[in-house]
Chains A and B, each alone.
Chain A
Amino acid sequence: MGLFERLKAGLQKTRQALVEQINLVITSVRKIDESLFEELEEVLIQGDVGVETAAELVDHLRDLARRRRLETADQLREAIKAKVMEILGDPVPMAENPSGPTVILVVGVNGVGKTTTIGKLAHHYRSQGRRVLLAAADTFRAAAIDQLRIWAERAGADFIAHQEGADPAAVAFDAVQAARGSRRADVVLIDTAGRLHNKAHLMEELRKIRRVVERELPGAPHETLLVLDATTGQNAVQQARLFKEVAGVTGIALTKLDGTAKGGVVIAVRKAEGIPVKWIGVGEGLEDLQPFDPRQFVAALFEG
């Protein structure tokens, strides 16, 4: 299965739920009228796009329809696609460190799938023939270290851990140092404990992890990925804002997109915080993490 096919397969439910609803709305109504816009707004809200963003999108459409004298539902569909694509922007590739190990810090609230995403990322880099080191800096959650170790084994990656309850910054420090020295890794993936973004002390801990990594290897972390659960509602915007502030988030991995969740909140996140989505999780397998391509995403979203 090619990349696009896999993406489309993973997004099957999303399409059924959101796109076909949109299509239904658009095509079942012959001419463009007010009730069509209202229904469209409904569908967007139900896709977790958010009440404000949905209203803006629809206002934009309404305006566009008037100015360009759009008449058919098809024209309207092209217009909304173009607008969402414009918001999501061009694909942004993962940053690389040309002169040493690329350090990727992975952060997020509890239960979004950080550890699993790291396992999949490790597999991704391993399949490019690169040496990968996983750092178990989630020293808080019971058995998180074991969970990451299992993923490291599955992906064929190297692994660094301390005891449960150890200082996570120390784990990150050791990992970066080992990657440059004894372990010679090309990519370092640092797993962190899930934390709610409104818990000041936990966010401070994250700030410290980042600072320690930065000090050990100037320029690192080269990427800080925020893992977002696609079933999350508008709170994702808040998560993005605070994690960006504290950890300097550079990209989003959107997980659990293979359910009925629509993931529309990434549009709001992109608008509010300018953080691009870089990966999407569309299944449980090692292969089920795909680079996010806004063009494909929107195409897959709006075309059946």
Chain B
Amino acid sequence: MAMFEGLSEKLQEVMRRLRGKGKLTEEDVAEAMREVRRALLAADVNFKVARDFVNRVSARAVGAEVMESLTPAQQVVKIVHEELTALMGGEAARLAAAPQPPTVVMLVGLQGAGKTTHAAKLAVLLKKQGRRPLLVAADIYRPAAIRQLQVLGEQAGVPVFSLGQEDPVRIATEAVAHARSQGLDYVLVDTAGRLHVDQELMAELQRIRDAVGPHEVLLVVDAMTGQDAVNVAEQFHQQLGITGVILTKLDGDTRGGAALSVRAVTGQPIKFVGVGEKLDALEPFHPDRMASRILGMGDVLSLIEKAQAALDAQKALELQQKVQRAEFNLEDFREQLREMRKLGPIDQWLALLPGFDQIKKQLPENLQVGEKELRRMEAIINSMTVEERRHPEIIDTRRKHRIARGSGTTIADVNRLLKQFEETRKLMKQFAGMEKQLKKRMGKLGRLPGLPFLGPRR
């Protein structure tokens, strides 16, 4: 994932150095914060936004509970992560839906930000969700802009409303009426791009807004934008009252600081990100995940929190030692299943691991287990003798029959459980290898208490 890579590298480096220290002084924190500020600036985060961010983190980081904790560096990382998430808007935001269709969405922004392309991408996304969008060609100025939207609409299989070089206000108004009469439920208005200092254009956009009363005014922003992102966002927000942002060209190697700036100055959420030239290259924006990506840590922090809250540290330690001695058996597997039930759905917390994307493909299908399945698996193991649990290799067909009867399951279920046990044992070896990399990347934070298979192999 190229997104934010540069920024995350720099921040990680700072955090790594911080973790190298046992006890933190205020000077250590100040030094780290200077570097964080530099990293943010180099990533094109707006100057004022970066300064405010660093001030907020610093204020919390030099607090007594951090400095006196056993793992001050880890606490600082946690604060940075929390503040970064907050800066990007906390929860993921959805596209509005009008109580009475059609929902009207206006796309506005500078020239070249990607309004036309993203109007079409949004149409494709809505169509995939079973909606019936209408694209509206209200950019009557840029040569061939209407034709561009028509071509894209054709590619997307979405109708395009156009009245040629007519007054954009009339185009938008008639488009909404057209959508209503045709039972189309989303109207996406592609407006002309011009500089935010262009009063004439702003006035025109205001007239369109007043005429159609859009439920969403989405500002389309190029992710490569520099310090000026705040001026652009502020102007558009002041004059039009934007309700959200589409961040485009995030598939470049930009560090993407504009994302932070735009959210900070408008208070409006980033709703979508454009990640490619194809029409389906539009994704919802997840602030929390993005914060983690910036720090390059997967969502390890929330994983740690979850694990610490849910798992019995003593049991985990025992289990970890067994894995290290390669003695992992069905009794341990049962213990692990019990712990897993406390953690919640397995795929959810596995997804929090850094590098999970890469290993996801290798995960066996049957590892995608739910709560009910976990209970059944436990029942099967409960029906085994101690001998069978400790030495699964002795389980033959006759024993399987007995176990199945005892647990109210079938032979196939028992076979599946045994297979899952084997897969898990194999996976642990992989994870153990991964943990080494993880440790390298994360310094002292690498050890995940309570997750046995993340312990070192030997």
CB-CB nearest in chain B for A140 = B277
CB contacts (< 8 Å) of B232 on chain A: these are 231, 259-260
> If the complex has contacts A45-B47, A151-B143, are A52 and B111 also in contact, measured as CB distance less than 8 A?
no
* CB <8 Å contact, A261 and B253: no
Query: In chain A between 195 and 243, which residues have their CB closer than 8 angstroms to a CB of chain B?
Result: 196-199, 229, 231-236, 238
Contacts of A234 in B (CB 8 A): 42-44, 226, 255
Is A64 in contact with chain B by the CB < 8 A criterion? no
Chain B residues in 8 Å Cβ range of A262? 227-228
Does A146 belong to the interface (CB within 8 Å)? yes
> Given A13-B197, A265-B226, A235 and B114 touching (CB < 8 A)?
no
Q: Is the CB of A196 within 8 A of B251?
A: yes
Cβ-based interface call for A23 (8 A): no
**Distance to closest chain B CB from A203 (angstroms):** 12
The segment out of B146-154, B349-357, B361-369 that lies at the interface is B146-154
Interface residues of A in 101-149 (CB under 8 A from B): 109-113, 140-144, 146-147, 149
A46, A111, A143, A164: the one within 8 Å of B114 (CB): A111
Cβ–Cβ < 8 Å partners of B149 in chain A: 142
Whether the Cβ atoms of A231 and B147 lie closer than 8 Å is no
Within 8 A of B (CB), among A160-185: 164
Beta-carbon contacts under 8 Å, B236-281 to A = 249, 251-255, 257-258, 277
- Nearest-neighbour CB distance to chain A for B283, whole angstroms, equals 16
Q: Is the CB of B197 within 8 A of A259?
A: yes
* A150 on interface, CB distance cutoff 8 Å: yes
Chain A residues with CB below 8 A from B155, complex form: 142
A142-B151, A235-B44, A235-B224 as given contacts; A147 in contact with B142, CB under 8 Å: yes
Number of interface residues, chain A, beta carbon within 8 A: 46
- Interface residue? B196 (CB, 8 A): yes
Q: Is there an interface contact between B110 and A256, defined as CB atoms closer than 8 Å?
A: yes
Asked if A50 lies at the interface with its beta carbon under 8 angstroms from chain B, I say: yes
Chain A residues near B (Cβ < 8 Å): 13, 17, 42, 45-48, 50-52, 109-113, 140-144, 146-147, 149-151, 164, 196-199, 229, 231-236, 238, 256, 258-262, 265, 284
Flag whether B412 is at the interface (Cβ < 8 A).
no
Of the candidates A45, A196, A229, A235, the one whose C-beta lies within 8 Å of that of B112 is A229
For A46, the chain B residues whose CB sits under 8 A away are 46-47, 227
Determine if B252 and A143 form an interchain contact, defined as CB atoms under 8 angstroms apart. Answer: no
CA distance A164 to B225 in the complex (A): 29
SS of B interface (majority): loop
Q: Which residues of A contact B195 (CB under 8 A)?
A: 256, 258-259
Measured between alpha carbons, how far is A236 from B231 in the docked complex, in Å? 19
Cβ contact within 8 Å between A233 and B224: yes
Question: How far apart are A132's CB and chain B's nearest CB, in angstroms?
Answer: 17
Most buried by A among B113, B226, B249, B252: B226
Given contacts A42-B47, A52-B42, A113-B111, contact A259 B196 (CB under 8 A): yes
Instruction: Indicate if the CB atoms of B253 and A235 lie closer than 8 Å.
Output: yes
Least CB distance from B224 to A in Å reads 4
Q: For residue A265, which residue of chain B has the nearest CB? A: B226
Indicate which residue in B147, B228, B249 contacts A260 across the interface (CB closer than 8 Å).
Answer: B228
Whether A197 pairs with B225 at a CB distance below 8 angstroms is: no
A50 to B6 alpha-carbon distance, docked (Å): 15
Instruction: Name A's interface SS.
Output: loop
Query: Are A259's CB and B251's CB within 8 A?
Result: no
Asked if B38 CB lies within 8 Å of chain A CBs, one says yes
Nearest CB in chain B to that of A284: its residue: B194
Known contacts A111-B222, A256-B110: A48-B228 contact under CB 8 Å? yes
Q: Which residues of A contact B224 (CB under 8 A)?
A: 109, 229, 232-233, 235-236
Q: Among A13, A110, A141, which residue has the most Cβ atoms of chain B within 10 A?
A: A110
Residues 59-78 of chain B, each 1 if its beta carbon lies under 8 Å from chain A, else 0: 00000000000000000000
Further pairs besides A111-B112, A231-B225: 5, Cβ < 8 Å: A231-B110, A235-B252, A235-B254, A260-B228, A261-B228
Contact call A229/B42, Cβ cutoff below 8 A = no
The listed residue (B142, B143, B227) touching A45 by CB distance below 8 A is B227
Tell me the minimal C-beta distance from A80 to chain B in angstroms.
18
CA of A140 to CA of B143, assembled, Å: 16
Task: List the interface of chain B (C-beta within 8 A of A).
Answer: 2, 38, 41-44, 46-47, 110-114, 142-145, 147-152, 155, 194-197, 222, 224-229, 231-232, 249, 251-255, 257-258, 277
Chain B residues with CB under 8 A of A51 = 38, 41-42
Q: In the complex, what residue of chain B is closest to A261 when comparing beta carbons? A: B228
Q: How far is the CA of A233 from the CA of B41 in the complex (A)?
A: 10
Structural contact, A150 and B47, CB atoms closer than 8 A: no
- The answer, among B38, B151, B225, B253, for a CB contact under 8 Å with A232, is B225
Q: Is the CB of A150 within 8 A of B111?
A: no
B289 to chain A, nearest CB (A): 21
Q: CB < 8 Å: which of A142, A233, A259 contacts B152?
A: A142
> In the docked arrangement, what's the CA distance between A164 and B151, Å?
11
B197 in contact with A260 (CB, 8 Å): yes
Given the interface pairs A146-B147, A260-B231, the reply to whether A111 lies near B113 with Cβ below 8 Å is yes
CB distance from A284 to the nearest CB of B (A): 8
Tell me whether A50 and B42 are in contact in the complex, defined as CB-CB below 8 angstroms, given that A231-B222, A232-B226 are known contacts: yes
Q: Which of the residues B2, B142, B226 comes within 8 Å of A261, measured between beta carbons?
A: B226
**B197–A233 CB distance below 8 A:** no
Bound: A256/B225 CA distance, A: 12
Q: In the complex the two chains form, is B144's CB within 8 Å of A150's CB?
A: yes
List chain A residues, Cβ under 8 A from B197: 13, 258-260
Residue of B nearest to A283 (CB): B195
Assuming the contacts A109-B224, A141-B148, asked whether A197 and B41 have C-beta atoms less than 8 A apart, the reply is no
Q: Of B228, B231, B232, B255, which is in contact with the most chain A CB atoms at under 10 Å from its CB?
A: B228
**Considering the chains assembled together, what is the distance between the CA atoms of A231 and B262 in angstroms?**
14
Residues of chain A contacted by B111 (CB below 8 angstroms): 111, 113, 256
CB of B249 within 8 A of CB of A109, answer yes
Q: Within the assembled complex, what's the spacing in Å between the Cα atoms of A110 and B155?
A: 20
**CB within 8 Å for A233 and B44 given contacts A109-B224, A112-B112:** yes
Give B109's nearest chain A residue, CB to CB: A111
Q: Which chain B positions have C-beta within 8 A of A52?
A: 42
Most chain A CB within 10 A, of B113, B145, B277, is at B277
Measured CA separation A197–B254 after assembly (Å): 10
Complex alpha-carbon distance, A149 and B143, angstroms: 9
> Complex: how many Å from CA A229 to CA B193?
14
Given contacts A45-B41, A147-B143, contact A110 B114 (CB under 8 A): yes
Chain A residue at smallest Cβ distance from B114: A111
| B249 & A196 in contact (Cβ 8 Å cutoff) | yes
